[in-house]
Each structure stands twice: as structure tokens, then as C-alpha cells.
Amino acid sequence: MSNHDRDPILLTPGPLTTSLATKAAMLRDWGSWDASFNGVTAQVRAKLAAIIHSQDSHVCVPMQGSGTFSVEAAVNTLVPRDGHLLVLINGAYGKRLARLTAMMGRRSTTFETADDVPTTAADVDGLLAKDPSITHVGLIHCETSTGIENPLREIAEVVAGHGKSLIVDAMSSFGALPIDARTTPFDALVAASGKCVEGPPGMGVVFVRKSTLERCGGNSTSLALDLHDQWTYMEKTTQWRFTPPTHIVVALNAALDQHASEGGQPARLARYRANFEMLMSGLRELGLRPFLPPAIQAPIIVTVHAPADPKYLFAEFYDRVRAKGFVLYPGKLTQVETFRVGCIGAIGPGEMRHAVNAMRDALAEMGVRDVTPAGAARAAA
């Protein structure tokens, strides 16, 4: 059977491969005023909150747009105009958070570690002790540009200990890595429809501590990205403030039912871990080397060193692997040449084994023999 008559499997960190049931949920039209649609919105908010046990402490505010829209809305709504956000950076999403904070006219300070060095609770403790003008801290839980996991729980405890407010970008971890709002203190946590909950992309969500959000009216410098207004309007009317992404909401509702019936977050993590282990053993077989050491690598997305062989070109590798039915992701590092493979989406280790075979065959077709890492990493290897 040819792979050309079906969609390729997306080994990308969102959009990702969704199940047939999730896709089928999009085959209906819904009116934004209609009670049946607004009932679905309420269900989606409750199901999302249950994943991180936040229903008693936080409100779940959905937001139109890709994940970045919700990150921007969280900063814009939570950080007062005279606030000061400390942004913890070890990759592209941390840099994006610092950039959008500056563009909204909020004061920010950045703390950057290398792409393969997690931020530690001790780092944050020192930074907060040194600068009492900091009011908020921004953290990327899983930095998708490499796949590194930052220690959310430890950092959250330190931030709370200093009496500061924590904003977490949990976009690529929510639904798969364990997060518990009852034991991990944060004021806002941002997730999206099209990552580990395996819905289609197009909607974000911010869990905001209720007592915090109640005091955030008037902070926003944007009409559209105002979580306080979105929340109060939705509480009053049950409706979204502006046109809702109806098909995304109903598909996400279906995806969340599958998340629950699979066994919730622990089962989702177990499947992704099985995908990840299959990928890692495959990479070992092929002689390809992952960028991160296993101890700090989340089983969400893996960054792989590009082969040194001059016959290797990412664009050709990508096209050949795609022709075999799998979509890879380019690297995002500036110092070393890499590519990325996502472990998330409605796939299992069987598909991942086929993906490894596709990579092996593509490299052989290209005549790539020297798979040792290219460039700077070679000296370090």
C-alpha cells in the first residue's frame, strides 16, 4: 500500500496527528449563541481543569488563537503596567516570552542558561533575593525548542516562598507530564488545544488563580488578549466574547474524552514514553546522537544532531522521510545543526518504529555514511 493515499504521520510538536474520532467531531456546524455549543465550552473547561486538579483554586479561561496568543494574554492580564517579569530562558520559547513582554511595555529581566542546561530553583532563589522589584516570574516547563524539562515544582515553591507570582508556559507538557495545582503553586499556567491533549490547533487556555484574576481588571493593554474580560463575559453569558473557534472546541471535547478513557495524564505519559523509548533505541541503531542527556530530556520531542556527512541535507532528508509517510521537524538551535522528532500525537510505538525505518532508508538512499554529529558538537563528543 502506498503512503501517498493517506495523510503522513506528524512527528511534530503540534499540529500533530489526531485520532479519527477527533477529526470526525469537526463535521458539524455550531452557532456561537446556541446553548448546545456553550454547553460544550463549559464541558471543555471542566475537563481541562480536571487534568491538573485546578477546579477549586483556578479558573480555566479559553482563548482563541495559537498558544502564543494565550501566553501574551496571560502576561498582559496578570502583570500590571508597572510590574516586573523575570523571564527564565533556555530556548526559543523563553526568548519569545521575553520579547512579547517587552512589546507590551512591561519591564522584564531575563536569565538565560544554555540550551542544554535547565533553570534551577537555586538560580531563581538567588535572582529573586537580589532584585526585590521583580513581581512575576515566567517559566517554560518543557522548552520545545530542544525538549528539555525545567523543574516546575521546585521553581514554583521558591517563587511562592518569595511571595511572587508565577506564570508557566506548559504548552508542550500539559496533559502528558504531571502537573498538580493543589501541590504546585502558580498564578497562571498556559496550555493549548493542539499539543499533548491531541486536539486540533487554534485554541489556547490559561488556568488563572481565581483570587488573582479577580484583581486583574484593567491591566490589559489589548482588547482581544484580556483574560479578565474574557472570563467575566463568559461567566455572565456562558458565551465566548468574540467568535469562538467552534470546530476546534468540539474536537477538543472529543479529544479530552479520549484522554480520560485512555487513563488520563499517566496513561498519556506512558504512551509517549513508549514512543520515546522506541525512538531512542532506533536512533542508537542508526548511530544518530540525541542533543540532550537523558536526565533532562522530556519524552515529548527529541532534538537529534545532524550527521556530519556532507551528503546530508535536512531538506532532502525531510522530503525522503515524508515520502515514506512521516513529517519531521527542523532544528531550532543556532550553534549546532539538528533536527527534531516529536513523540506526541495519536500514535504508538509501532508507528515510531516505522518512522525510524523511514529515517534509516532515507539516509541510505542519500548515501549518508558518517552519522557522527556535525560541527561544534563533534569536538565535544
Ligand X SMILES: *Cc1c(COP(=O)(O)O)cnc(C)c1O
| Surface-to-core class of residue 193, CB atoms within 10 Å of its CB (0-12 exposed, 13-18 middle, 19+ buried) | buried
Nearest distance, CB of residue 242 and ligand X, angstroms? 18
Check if the beta carbon of residue 291 is closer than 8 Å to that of residue 238. Answer: no
Choice from 63, 171, 252, 363 touching ligand X (CB under 6 A): 171
Helices 349-366 and 314-323, packing angle to 10 deg:
130
Nearest of 332, 374, 327 to residue 146 by alpha carbon: 332
- CA–CA distances in Å: residue 219 to residues 134, 171, 206: 17, 23, 16
Q: How far apart are CA 345 and CA 303, in angstroms?
A: 17
Check if the beta carbon of residue 68 is closer than 8 Å to that of residue 58. Answer: no
Which residue, 192 or 213, is less far from ligand X as judged by CB? 192
Q: Which residue is nearest to ligand X (CB)?
A: 67
Nearest of 310, 104, 308, 108 to residue 220 by alpha carbon: 104
Which residue, 147 or 373, is less far from ligand X as judged by CB? 147
Q: Does 172 bind ligand X (CB under 6 A)?
A: yes
Q: Which of residues 190-249 bind ligand X (CB under 6 A)?
A: 192
Segment interacting with ligand X (CB under 6 A) among 169-177, 179-187, 230-238, 281-289: 169-177
Nearest distance, CB of residue 39 and ligand X, angstroms? 27
Choice from 93, 207, 231, 317 touching ligand X (CB under 6 A): 93
Nearest distance, CB of residue 88 and ligand X, angstroms? 12
All cell numbers assigned to 315: 531538506
Which residue, 169 or 337, is less far from ligand X as judged by CB? 169
Q: Does 14 bind ligand X (CB under 6 A)?
A: yes
Segment interacting with ligand X (CB under 6 A) among 40-48, 131-139, 152-160, 167-175: 167-175
Which residue, 134 or 344, is less far from ligand X as judged by CB? 344
Q: Which of residues 321-380 bind ligand X (CB under 6 A)?
A: none
Query: How would you classify residue 53: left for phi > 0, otherwise alpha for psi between -120 and 50, otherwise beta?
Result: left
Stretch (H or E) spanning 192:
strand 188-192
Which residue, 139 or 158, is less far from ligand X as judged by CB? 139
Choice from 169, 198, 226, 337 touching ligand X (CB under 6 A): 169
Q: Does 150 bind ligand X (CB under 6 A)?
A: no
Which residue, 13 or 307, is less far from ligand X as judged by CB? 13
Strand 9-10 and strand 326-327: pairing? parallel
SS3 call for 108: strand
Nearest of 15, 33, 98 to residue 237 by alpha carbon: 33
Cis previous bond, 15, omega within 30: yes
Q: Report how many residues bind ligand X under the rule CB under 6 A.
A: 13
Q: Which residues contact 158 (CB under 8 A, 6 or more apart)?
A: 121, 124, 125, 128
Which residue, 324 or 332, is less far from ligand X as judged by CB? 332
Which residue, 14 or 307, is less far from ligand X as judged by CB? 14
Q: Which of residues 32-71 bind ligand X (CB under 6 A)?
A: 66-68, 71
Choice from 18, 90, 101, 144 touching ligand X (CB under 6 A): 144
Chain residues in the site for ligand X (CB under 6 A): 13-14, 66-68, 71, 93, 140, 144, 169, 171-172, 192
